[in-house]
Structure 1
Amino acid sequence: MENFETYQTPLSSRYASKEMARLFSPAMRFHTWRKLWLNLAVAEKELGLPISDEAIEQMKANLDLTAEQFEIAAQEEKKRRHDVMAHVHTFGQVAPAAAGIIHLGATSCYVTDNADLIFLRTGLTYLIRSLGILISRLSSFAAQYRDLPTLGFTHFQPAQLTTVGKRATLWIQELLWDLRNLLRAREDIGFRGVKGTTGTQASFLALFDGDHDKVEQLDELVTKLSGFEYSYPVTSQTYSRKIDIDVLTPLASLGATAHKIATDIRLLANLKEIEEPFESTQIGSSAMAYKRNPMRCERVCSLARHLMILPQNALMTASVQWFERTLDDSANRRITIPEAFLTADIVLSTLQNISEGLVVYPKVIARRIAQELPFMATENIIMALVKNGGDRQEAHEKIRVLSHEAAHQVKQLGLENDLIDRVKSDPYFDPIKDQLEQLLDPATFVGRAPQQVDKFIKDWVVPALARDELQEAINKGGKVELSV
């Protein structure tokens, strides 16, 4: 019952993947702290500090916390009012041979900030994999419907025809840019490394008796042991909070893409042309039993808006970091960073679920085309008459009059567009009546849309997804089952 009597964020309790939720869990955080303390001890021992093999082995054997250790750490934090020191003490209890050297020379941000950088990079890896799967799914959809004509919309008013597949490539192209941005952000992340209390490495210089070379080697070795290519050349007590901006901004941009895609599908659902998946037992409305609400796309839009505002926190936090640091970043970042990754994770998994079950209604699409195409075909009809020896101005006036009469039928009387019937009944158009079927073929109005789909997938999607990590994710990725 305890879980039902206290607030829980729906991001982790209701929507997010287990993988992403675990990444930002206390268990992963404190495991990572212990791994960082181990890496520091291993590097310090390698560079000559008196740290025993037994100390190293005990640390290695106790990287994961038991429930009892969580309790001890909580009691210690309550007493000491310092989370890092509480965990130093708790770690020392299960690794007594290392108790005297855990955290040697380090400041709290050695574990907190370096762990955060690990989480940022790992979280981006998870999102990159999910985004690759989504792009793959939507690309299959685009290829399937590459040549299915559909009415285009500008200003949400009928415009020239496009194809269902071509419209999907517009979504995919933005997702490819998001993939590029996430890859850039991940590849740019460095390590805070071993920099000391205000970033001067003074404590480590003292440990190594003024040997600057060993201090630099320590920084490089710990960075390597922690899986990073480089550490930031200078830091204050923390890594610069601009790094958080660099990471959260691409996530917000992904949110904007997701919102646009989901909104397009919501509008298409209203037109009854394309719908998101809808289970046989799903209820759209408690009152209106016939309804099929686009719940998944609405969820994407809802969460994407939240995702888009989170970089504002990172911007403001970075702007108020006085001198070497101030602690007013801490509580904010504990909320903002996990929420950004959990939200992005949910947005991607929901979009994948949508993409794997999109339902297209070709007959509804064809009916809407039939309502608008006669007006769009007027220029083709005029040109066909001219080719048959007709007068362009006369033909224009004839088709103009008939078009207005047909528009009156549609707009004033609520009837079907009968322009073509009027053309067929008018002897003036006898020379081209045998061409009308060809002149009204929707496939002749989509331009190079099918070829654009093919070329886009071949030249842009396939190379972008060729990375081994993306291919592995795509091959392993099963269908997403949507949570409640």
Structure 2
Amino acid sequence: MSIDRYVYQSPFSSRYASKEFLYLFSDHKKFSTWRRLWIILAKCEKELGLHITQDQIDEMEKKVSDIDFDYASQEEIKVKHDVMAHVKTFGYQCPKAAPIIHLGTTSCFVGDNSDLIIMKEAFESLIPKLGACINALALFADSWKFFPTLGFTHFQPAQLTTVGKRACLWLSDLSQDFKNFLRFKNSLRFRGVKGTTGTQASFLHLFNGDANKVEALEEMVTRECGFESYHMICGQTYSRKVDYECLSVLASFGLTLHKMCTDIRLLAHMKEIEEPCSRDQIGSSAMAYKRNPMLSERCCGLARFLMNLSQDALGTGSVQWLERTLDDSSNRRLCLPQAFLCCDTILISLYNIVNGLQVYQKVIESNIRKELPFMATENILMEMVKRGGNRQDCHEKIRVLSQEAAANVKLHGKENNLMSLIQEDPYFEPIKDSLHDILDPNNFIGLAPQQVEKFLKHEIYPMIEPFKSEIANISCKEGDNNGQSSLANSLRF
């Protein structure tokens, strides 16, 4: 794709999004969909008795993808109306069909219905991509379900968890997004064949007052366009609440990704986990040693953009006057495509992140050793009581020694020597031989491994199982919008 370097380019088109999504929201996809809608309408009107010939339909079908954009552009300059410009362009290219193109409809027949068609197709593409990311992260969680790591509350060391269990926190949110994508896609309804204010008056006139034919027309067109149902009630447009619901679902996914990728960035700072890094990747133009979490940072930046787009749809939907106003048009041209392009871009980065996460076991073990003595003090207290000690006396002993060890770490920058202090104190003689076992990190992870196994088995794998074949064909290789990598060899259900 050649880029004019003297004209502003969206980063989605020049840098980030896949070719699939760039086409999905392209002018050709949009206007060829308009033409398909006009053809479907004409076919259904013909079948219900209107005077439309097969020659007219055949002529339109031959030109469905052959759009004269120069002619359309000139027409739009003259008439200041994009739909009418394309009606005239289609008629110019199909002179036999010109009299019946757009028969009985208003602009929103093609505008709104094509938006819904493209929206549906976009979710049909996003769902298996998200499923591929979920599958890869599930494999990671299963592989690391037993490996202890420090848990954190308030970003302060807390009770241990496992690397796999933490990944399941991300998976849990992603599974909600997967279900939201699927639910919204399945709930999408066609705007239908409604006329200028949603009353279908023009079609009732075309069919000489036969309401049954009007209803049949809407059913036929809806079915031919791949929808199971249509909006029974609307003004000139479908309710813009639908756009808000759509962008809310995408924004919620943005929330998930921002949280997950922030976690990865924090762990990268601690040198415990890192995203993949290509051999020639440069982290800093000045600091040659740096290896930055650039994919996670990109996801966070784009996720913030995605989350904020839902506010556009919220504002637009709230100011739609009566049967319609046109201040939605310019806004929707921006926020709807950009939301999907942004989501697609994030999924490409996410796929590469979760397929290449690197765990540094020695660093994690070292960090555990620094903090575990403090966490083990409750177990030490309970063991002392089992051996006949007094709970309150033991608590005071541990409190004093813990403060001494904390000062050794904080004031002098030395290692945590709490266990040495306990071993040297005659009071703890009854449990000295048990200290090594008490400090085994595996004694502090609770049911984390079992929780991972149960979660994957009962929630994650059954959820993505119906999409197994689609997920296997997903390719989201970083830096290659054609996609060369495949999940076919790493699937697990």
TM-score, normalised on structure 1?
0.97
Are 2:472 and 1:475 equivalent residues in the alignment?
yes
- Counterpart residue number, 1:262: 261
Equivalent residue number for residue 239 of structure 1: 238
CA distance in 2, matches of 1:10, 1:221: 40
Match in the other structure for 2:23: 22
Q: Within 5 Å, which residues of 2 pair with 1:375-454?
A: 375-454=374-453
Q: Is residue 2:30 matched to residue 1:33?
A: no
In structure 2, distance between residues paired with 1:477 and 1:126: 9
- Between the aligned partners of 1:28 and 1:143, the Cα distance in structure 2 is 41
Where 1:3 maps in the other structure, the secondary structure is: coil
Contact 1:353 1:482 in 2 (8 A): no
- Aligned equivalents of 2:165, 2:11: Cα separation in 1: 36
For 1:290, the equivalent position in structure 2 comes to 289
Distance 1:477 1:215 in 2: 42
Q: Which residue number in structure 1 is paired with residue 484 of structure 2?
A: none
Partner-residue secondary structure (3-state), 2:478: coil
**Preserved contact between residue 14 and residue 483 of structure 1 (Cα < 8 Å):** no
Take 2:314 and 2:395, find their aligned partners in 1: how far apart are those partners?
59
Letter in 2 for 1:194: V
Report the CA distance between 1:483 and its aligned residue: 6.2
Aligned residue in 1 for 2:207:
208
Q: Distance in 1 between matches of 2:432 and 2:470?
A: 55
Whether the aligned pair in 1 keeps the contact of 2:37 and 2:110 (CA below 8 Å) is: yes
The residue type equivalent to 2:309 in the other structure is L
> What is the distance in 2 between the residues matched to 1:401 and 1:54?
95
Q: Report how far residue 190 of structure 1 moved.
A: 0.6
Q: Partners in 1 of 2:381 and 2:214 — Cα distance?
A: 82
Measure, in 2, the Cα distance between the counterparts of 1:157 and 1:2.
48
The runs of 5 or more residues in structure 2 that have no matched partner are 482-493
Cα contact 1:161–1:446 (8 A) shared by 2: yes
Structure 1 unaligned spans of 5+: none
1:140-289 maps to which residues of 2 (within 5 A)? 140-289=139-288
Secondary structure class of the residue paired with 2:150:
strand
Report if aligned partners of 1:123, 1:341 keep a CA contact under 8 Å in 2.
Answer: yes
Q: Distance in 2 between matches of 1:28 and 1:426?
A: 77
Identity, % of aligned positions: 57
Q: Is the 8 A contact 1:371 1:416 kept in 2?
A: yes
Partners in 2 of 1:146 and 1:20 — Cα distance? Answer: 36
CA shift, 1:102, in A, is 0.8
Cα distance in structure 1, aligned partners of 2:130 and 2:316: 28
Task: Give the counterpart letter for 1:95 in structure 2.
Answer: C
Q: Which amino acid aligns with 1:349?
A: I
The equivalent residue for 1:61 is: 62
One-letter code of the match for 1:26?
Answer: D
* Distance in 1, Cα, partners of 2:247 & 2:403: 53
Check conservation: 1:151, 1:369, Cα contact below 8 A: yes
Instruction: Please say which of residues 471-480 and 244-253 is displaced more in the overlay.
Output: 471-480
- AA aligned opposite 2:318: S
Moved over 4 A (4+): none
C-alpha offsets along residues 147-198 of structure 1, whole Å, 9 cap, x if unaligned? Answer: 1100000000110000011011111101111111111111111111111111
Supply the AA of the counterpart residue of 1:217. A
Q: How far did residue 279 of structure 1 move? A: 1.4
Number of the residue aligned with 1:311? 310
Residue-by-residue CA offset, 1:228-259 (whole Å, 9 max, x unaligned): 11110021111111110111111111101110
Q: Distance between the aligned counterparts of 2:381 and 2:185, measured in 1? A: 57
* Contact preservation (8 Å) 1:276, 1:359: yes
**Per the alignment, in what secondary structure is the counterpart of residue 97 of structure 1?**
coil
2:474 counterpart letter in structure 1: G
Letter of the 1:412 counterpart: L
> CA separation in 2, counterparts of 1:483 and 1:6?
23
What does residue 43 of structure 1 align with? 44
1:466 counterpart SS class: helix
Q: Deviations over 1:130-152 (max 9, x none)?
A: 11111111111111110110000
Deviation at 1:430, TM superposition (A): 2.7
**Residue 359 of structure 1: how far off its partner (Å):** 0.8
Give how far 1:431 is off: 2.4
Q: Which amino acid aligns with 1:104?
A: L
RMSD across aligned positions (CA): 1.4
Q: Distance in 2 between matches of 1:335 and 1:386?
A: 67
Deviation at 1:479, TM superposition (A): 5.1
Worse-matched range after superposition: 246-255 or 126-135: 126-135
The whole-number CA distance in structure 2 between the counterparts of 1:473 and 1:7 is 36
Task: Please identify, of 403-412 and 450-459, the stretch whose mean Cα deviation from structure 2 is larger.
Answer: 403-412
Cα distance in 2 between the residues matched to 1:161 and 1:152: 5
Structure-1 separation of matches of 2:3 and 2:177: 40
Tell me if the contact between 2:106 and 2:196 (Cα under 8 Å) persists in the aligned partners. yes
Q: SS state of the match for residue 100, structure 1? A: helix
Stretch moving more, 40-49 or 422-431:
422-431
Task: State the TM-score, normalizing by the size of structure 2.
Answer: 0.95
State the alpha-carbon separation in 1 of the partners of residues 476 and 148 from structure 2. 28
Number of residues of Structure 1 aligned to a counterpart in Structure 2: 480
Give the letter aligned to residue 306 of structure 1.
F
CA distance in 2, matches of 1:54, 1:80: 29
How is 1:330-369 mapped onto 2 (pairs within 5 angstroms)? 330-369=329-368
Amino acid at match of 2:473: K
2:99 match: 100
